[in-house]
Each structure stands twice: as structure tokens, then as C-alpha cells.
Chain A
């Protein structure tokens, strides 16, 4: 139960933590409301200082959207049995597809706008949309386990999972915020969003709107989907040990389109200028 709880927690919450890290890193590149510090005063900061630089106003938006997402996911969970029976049993899957598409659109539009307020709103919306289904799954898990008995291993699994997610999230934020160029963060976001979009393929195959096909290869011996590394790589770069042709096509095309869109959009990059560094 410990490993199961850990994997379930990572599966459900890691995408939220990674998206949070990416959008915070994005703010470090394109937030025009920052003050200028002369280049000569720029210095490497210790880890503790990086933590306190998180105290920026966009976090208020994001924490509120996550809280709202948690609240709405509780409501969603209440209606899920009914939703699961609608449209001949595919009602919830249709909702999931709608959420995935809206999530991708809100992140892309948030990244391609120069208006800070609109960006914060769109990023908040994307976090809300990501929290909604994942938190609902977790509530169902706790409901089911709670009806029998809550093992201590569940709490340990959740605690360890939370620690792993926070560590990965902060590590990603720290890496991207210390890279001078914006291309790596753009590529990382494109891969992340393409992975989220590609999940639609599995959902469509599950409800037989898209027919399943044989996997092109099987790398379960190398990195299995079921272990922590498989889960991590799936969220980060859309890794699948047994990908089908449709999955690969959707993933590849989505990555190229999103990355091209982000590269071609004229954004005011404020991280490094000739005059100084914005912080």
C-alpha cells in the first residue's frame, strides 16, 4: 500500500507541481513588472534567498486557483458517478478531453501574451484545470480507502510523494531560472503540454472513439510505466513504454507546433538586458 499510495500521489500531483515550476520560471523571463538591478551588482544567491524570492504577487493568484480547484474537484467528485453514466458511459472521459484541450490553450495563450494580468489569469486557469481532475481522483482514492481503514502506510506514501514532488518542482524551477536563454523553458513547456495532450489518445482509445493499435516498441524492461521514473518521465516528456503510432504522432506534432508557436511569438524578454538584470 505504501508504494501504491506513493505512485498514486506522484501520478496525480506531479503534473501540478511541474506546471507550477514552469510558470514561475516563465515569470522570471517575461514579467515586465520587475525592478532593474545593474549587471555588476548581480551575484549568485544562496538557496535560502531563492526561496524568499518566491514571494511575488503571482503566487497569490496561483494559490487561490489551486484552492478553488480543490473545492470544485470535491463538487466534481460528488457528481462523478452520474457523469460516468452519461453519454453511454463516456461522459467523464469527454470532460477530461475538454479539460486537457482547455489547459493546453490557456497555457499557450498565457505564454504568448505580453499583458501580465492576462498571463496571470490564464496561468491560474491552467492550474485550476489541472487540479480539477487530479484532485478528484485523489478524493475518490481517500474515500475508498477511508471506508475500510486508513493505513499508516498511506500517510507515509503521501508524505514521501509530497516531498518528491516539491523537490522535483523546486529543482526544475531552480534550473530554468538560472538559465539565461528562454529556449530550454520553452522546449520543456512544449514537451509537458504535448504529453498532457497525448493523454487524450489513451482516453479516446479507452472509449473506442479511436481504435487501439499495437505498440511500436516495448521499453518496460528499461523504464517501466509503473515505477517512479516512468511516472516522472511521462509527466516531464510524455514518456510511454509502449507507445502506439497515433500516440507518437500526436505527441510529435503537438511538441513541434507548441514549440514553434512559443519561439515565433514576439515576447518582451526581461531576464537579461544590456543595461542590467531584472529580478
Chain B
């Protein structure tokens, strides 16, 4: 295989990768952090959806949004917001927490087969 062919294949693979990437448009979800508690603490999204997560910290101290399941971490300073993207994800439950207040600041992202997305504080799967 000559260099030209390798170059052509590389370009084709790169183009297809970015085409697939562009196909996933992000849905915006806002989480409020008050008194070291995420509101809503449970987010239900549909499978293979990209989410733009806006976390607004209304507290007086910084907090770090952390999730080993989602492989994300981001510090949100007092009275400010932070943006991060998650997904597309396969079906399952993904836990997240506030690293500085792990006892209270906890939540999870539930990825289901539902076609419609719901954000509730309970019984998300049943409603789907």
C-alpha cells in the first residue's frame, strides 16, 4: 500500500468520524447546586444522546462535579456556572457527585431506551 492510498484512507476515516460526531446534536440540561444538593439529582436521557450539562452553583463555596462513570470532572466556583458535555451513552445508570460534599451532593444520569427525555426527581423509568 503506497503512501497516497494511506493518506486517502486516513482522510476518509477522519471525515466519517467528524460526520458521525456532527450527527449528535447536544440537548441542554441545567442542574442547580443549592446547599450542596444537585437539583434535579436524577436526569433521565435517551440512549445515544449527547447532553450539554450546565451546572449552576448558587452556593458560597466552590464544588467539583465529579463522575467516574461518566469520566468527567469540573470545578464550579461560587455563584457561577460551568458547562460540560456528556454522551452519547449506552443504556445504564451513571453516578455523579460533588467531590467536596460527597454525602449530600449526589446524583445520577439514567440512560434508557425512551424516545422522549424526562427530567424528574423520581420514577423516571416507570414514566418512560
Contact = CB atoms under 8 A, between A and B. Distances in A.
Contacts of A211: 20-21, 24, 50
B31 interface: no
Given A214-B88, A226-B68, A89 B83 contact: yes
Interface stretch (B3-11, B38-46, B73-81, B119-127): B73-81
Interface in A94-118: none
A137 B75 contact: yes
Interface residues of B, number: 34
A214 B26 CA distance: 16
Contacts of A240: 71
Interface string B72-104: 101101101111111111100000000111110
Q: Which of A140, A145, A148, A226 has the most chain B CB atoms inside 10 A of its CB? A: A140
B75 A148 contact: no
Contacts of A88: 83
B64 A140 contact: yes
A212 B87 CA distance: 6
Interface of A: 1, 4, 8, 80-81, 84-85, 88-90, 137, 140-141, 143-145, 147-148, 202, 205-208, 211-214, 224-226, 240-242
Interface of B: 20-21, 24, 26, 50, 52, 60-64, 68, 71-72, 74-75, 77-78, 80-90, 99-103
